[in-house]
A and B are shown apart, each in its own frame.
Chain A
Amino acid sequence: MESMAARRTEWTLRKNEFQKRLCEGRQFVDEPGSKTVNPADCVSLLEAVIRSGDRVALEGNNQKQADFLADCLCNVDVERVNNLHMVQSVIALPSHCELFERGIAGLADFSYSSPQSARVAQMVSDGKMKIGEIHTYLELFGRYFVDLTPDVALVTAISADRAGNLYTGPNTEDTPTIVEATKFRQGIVVAQVEKIVDKLPRVDIPGEWVDFLVPVGRPCYTEPLFTRDPALITDVHVLMAMMVIKGIYAQYGVKSLNHGIGFGTCAIELLLPTFAESLGLKGKVCSHWTVNPHPSLIPAIECGFVESIHSFGSEVGMEDYMANRPDVFFVGPDGSMRSNRAMCQVAGHYAVDAFVGSTLQMDRYGNSSTAVAGRIAGFGGAPNMGCDPPGRRHSTASWLRAGRESTMTRGLIGPVPRGRKLVIQMVETFGAGRVPSFVHRLDAWTLMEEAGFKVPPIMMYGDAITHLVTEEGIAHLLRCDSLEQRESAIKAVAGYTDLGREANPKETLELRRQGIVQTPEDLGIDIGDANTSHLAARSIRDLVEWSDGLYRPPDRFREW
């Protein structure tokens, strides 16, 4: 026999390590056999179960935050616990940064850091934080099961029973993904909960997957990230939203979709019961959604536009409303909604006809970026929504039509029919402070140089974009048959920006004739009639009324 590698004999190293840490941690439980740790002992607990250099998943979501555990982790003895490798969806709280400032953590792999973007950039430039990679959510979740499996997970739930079963309520978000990755590779799972109860409404995480419970006595911090006050929607948003509805949704018959959180998409949602209804689109468009429970969807739901909504997370104040609309939302036997970021990301990636987002900057190729120099904000989930998944095999009418029109990409596979997801970007030609949105060079390049990234942080690559919508019109980029034509179409709707001023009026007319570019006039939309009076709701209060009082907006949005 040729020489062979020595056979491995040890098979339970991780398990042994787990047992050791479990024992050390158990000295802090309130009574033998219990999983409950007094909040006052939480720092000691973390010092007992976390080792320097560990990979730690600290639950940081778009909405709910394991804020108490984050604070405790900031207070561990840095001599004992340091050099941690943080893996988390969102760097959201000041305490998430504090870990790096104090030297407790050194390396981060994450998806999104917009709430702390300036501080993250500063810490990177100061050498306090090293970034492994910035991911999309699905990528990061994928890596939890490959090469970024956490040693310790610090998660948050609403309540637990003594056996450790967790009830997450509507904001389930990342908890199942993190706990599954950690626990099944013999990691330690610590959960902060508001309180411990005898009987849970439902079990979101089985008790045997949870090692320690910290009853904090208050709800964890939860950000109402997807609440947009309709009062802030402008007439320009309404104009662009009308164009999307009439020029894209109606034409393609977009039934399933994901919306970003901009005011443009908010305007679309609020025009469904009015403008879209008047076009006879009810039942024909926007019936199935993979979005967070945007309060601005309430009027469309109430008018019967919406059949189903699956969500990444919940939204503060929407709990009662969702519980009372179980035909629409994914509601458990207990009566409350359950979200799941991983599932919803998969759905938004593979199973929808269209994604609509907005961006800060776009170049002549249609590459778009929200990157701003001096800020590291990450990607979140948008790139997974905003792309055509090559793995998709099922068909819908919208998908097929978009595929037929995709002149340039169709050429690569011969005569085989194939569909395409619509990826729509809404961009005002000038942003806040009259900064042009169309640029020759994206700020992402500058950020790449500043932060030492290998590629510029592009949110959506130009080849993914099928439609660009500005106040000047729609560019049906998928209908272009050459790069030159795409560029002309982009310039044709780039208005009075430098890039837009390069447009050749004759060429623009030809693009309009071919239906590649459509102005409001081409679509039969009167610019002078685009105003917010068309919105089904024009204030948070209108939304409350639409919901029959079931929507209870967070205090910061109640202006009456």
Chain B
Amino acid sequence: MDDRWNRMQDLPFSRLNARERAVAICNPGSFNELLCPRSKLTSPHLPAMGQTPQFDDGIVVGLGKAGKTPVVVVSQESRFVGGGVGEVHGTKMVMAIRLALRGQRILESRGRSPGDGGQVALVISFDTGGVRLQEANAGLLAHSEVMDAFQAARGKVPIIGVVGGTVGCFGGMGFVASSVDVLIMSDVGRLGLTGPGVIEEVVGTEEFDAANRALVWRTTGGRHRFITRDADFIVEDAMKAFREKVSEVAGWPLKKISEKRIIGTEEMVLEQMRLVGLAANDKIQDSWDLWRQFGNKDIEYLWDSDVSEFTAHAKRWPRGRIGERD
């Protein structure tokens, strides 16, 4: 078993499936799945539409340990209906957050405090286009339940988001990923609201060609999100890199973790208003315009360099210090 865990550490995160990611992000042998495929709790709605269900409904949830921290892990499977959130999938995610909070309360009731194994963390690996259209209404409601549960967990259970799968994180799950405490992305990961195909449909191919994958990644990919600070960390597309970063962050003091948030307070809203101001009146045509504004000179170099060089040289949005709509 540990052999397999070791092998997965050396593979690209993007290549692993949801279950492998969940297993490999935890310490070896520590992951314990809830509602595993054997429970066969599948979507009752897909079969009625002639679509084959999957035993885990495209999401893996379980308990494990990351470094010294007990974690609840949620991992979406984009291979199954694009990672779309349906009734079962959504409820599993909501429950995972609530159970993390319950775990935290149990520890507190035992008099444990953060620092001596008394902090539970929630880790969510997003790989989804958002609402599953076949179960659209239930999927939409589940999003609101997740956001509420996030707010309930704030300041109690740190939430660590991970975006490094092949689909990335789009639709309503984009809101969710932006509401975590710490977001870790690889440069394969993408974060956005509207998918590239829809944008192309709306604004035209001239302005946005969805087949131009480099443009798509430039607009929503991990490198760009790191520069705008939506992602706190950018790591290589390697399972090991994600695991190490998650273990590290999960063990931070709660206060330090919460400071990484980008939304969730009045100050942060005002900060975001200033960032938005930079883009008003078509001043920004391309993400690289923004990179330049933040003082990045050799854009092509940043774009092609490996992640460690990129991290070392990228100049990020100075958070709140510049920008005002004119």
Contact = CB atoms under 8 A, between A and B. Distances in A.
| Touch A–B, Cβ below 8 Å | yes
Interface of A: 538-539, 541, 549, 555-560
Given A549-B304, A560-B237, A555 B214 contact: yes
A17 to B, nearest CB: 44
Given A539-B12, A549-B304, A560 B188 contact: yes
B18 to A, nearest CB: 17
Interface in B188-236: 188, 211-215, 217, 221-222
B217 A559 contact: yes
10 contacts: A539-B12, A539-B15, A549-B304, A555-B213, A555-B214, A556-B213, A559-B166, A559-B217, A560-B188, A560-B237
Contacts of B188: 541, 559-560
Nearest to B221: A560
Nearest to A545: B306
A5 B48 CA distance: 85
Contacts of B127: none
A554 to B, nearest CB: 8
A549 B300 CA distance: 13
Interface in B56-73: none
A443 to B, nearest CB: 28
B15 A558 contact: no
Given A539-B12, A549-B304, A558 B217 contact: yes
Given A538-B12, A559-B213, A560-B187, 20 more contacts: A539-B12, A539-B14, A555-B212, A555-B214, A555-B215, A556-B211, A556-B212, A556-B213, A556-B214, A557-B213, A558-B213, A558-B214, A558-B217, A559-B166, A559-B217, A560-B186, A560-B188, A560-B217, A560-B222, A560-B237
Contacts of A555: 212-215
B208 to A, nearest CB: 13
Interface string B273-291: 0000000000000000000
Nearest to B189: A560
Contacts of A558: 213-214, 217
Contacts of B237: 541, 560
B265 to A, nearest CB: 33
Contacts of B214: 555-556, 558
Nearest to A555: B214
Contacts of B304: 549
B276 to A, nearest CB: 27
A503 B64 CA distance: 53
B304 to A, nearest CB: 7
A539 B238 CA distance: 14
Contacts of B166: 559
Given A549-B304, A560-B237, A538 B213 contact: no
A555 B216 CA distance: 10
Interface string B103-130: 0000000000000000000000000000
Contact of A538 (B15, B186, B215): B15
A93 to B, nearest CB: 17
A538 B14 CA distance: 11
Contacts of A560: 186-188, 217, 221-222, 237
Contacts of A541: 188, 237
Contacts of B187: 560
A32 to B, nearest CB: 40
Contacts of A549: 304
A538 B221 CA distance: 20
B95 to A, nearest CB: 33
B241 to A, nearest CB: 14
Nearest 8 pairs of A and B residues by beta carbon: A555-B214, A558-B214, A560-B187, A555-B212, A560-B188, A559-B213, A558-B213, A556-B211
A558 B215 CA distance: 9
A539 to B, nearest CB: 7
A560 B14 CA distance: 11
Interface in B240-262: none
A556 B215 CA distance: 8
B21 to A, nearest CB: 16
Contacts of B212: 555-556
B288 to A, nearest CB: 13
B209 to A, nearest CB: 9
A558 B211 CA distance: 10
A513 to B, nearest CB: 39
Nearest to A540: B213
Contacts of A559: 166, 188, 213, 217
Nearest to B304: A549
A511 B96 CA distance: 58
Interface string B1-38: 00000000000101100000000000000000000000
A556 B210 CA distance: 9
A538 to B, nearest CB: 6
A462 to B, nearest CB: 38
Contacts of A538: 12, 15
A558 B219 CA distance: 13
A557 B214 CA distance: 7
A559 B14 CA distance: 11
Which among B166, B212, B214, B221 has the highest number of chain A CB atoms within 10 Å? B214
A558 B304 CA distance: 11
A235 to B, nearest CB: 14
Contacts of B211: 556
A558 B216 CA distance: 9
B226 to A, nearest CB: 13
Nearest to B222: A560
Contacts of B217: 558-560
A541 B12 CA distance: 11
A549 B309 CA distance: 14
Nearest to B188: A560
A555 B211 CA distance: 9
A332 to B, nearest CB: 27
Contacts of B215: 555
Contacts of B213: 555-559
A541 B15 CA distance: 12
Interface in B161-177: 166
Contacts of B222: 560
A556 B214 CA distance: 6
A41 to B, nearest CB: 27
A556 B14 CA distance: 19
A549 B301 CA distance: 12
Contacts of B15: 538-539
A555 B217 CA distance: 10
Contacts of B221: 560
A474 B242 CA distance: 43
A549 B304 CA distance: 9
A555 B218 CA distance: 11
Interface in B131-165: none
Contacts of A557: 213
A528 to B, nearest CB: 16
B7 to A, nearest CB: 9
Q: Which of A539, A558, A560 has the most CB of B within 10 A?
A: A560
A557 B12 CA distance: 18
Nearest to B7: A533
Contacts of B12: 538-539
A542 to B, nearest CB: 8
Nearest to B216: A559
Contacts of B186: 560
B176 to A, nearest CB: 23
B11 to A, nearest CB: 8
Nearest to B237: A560
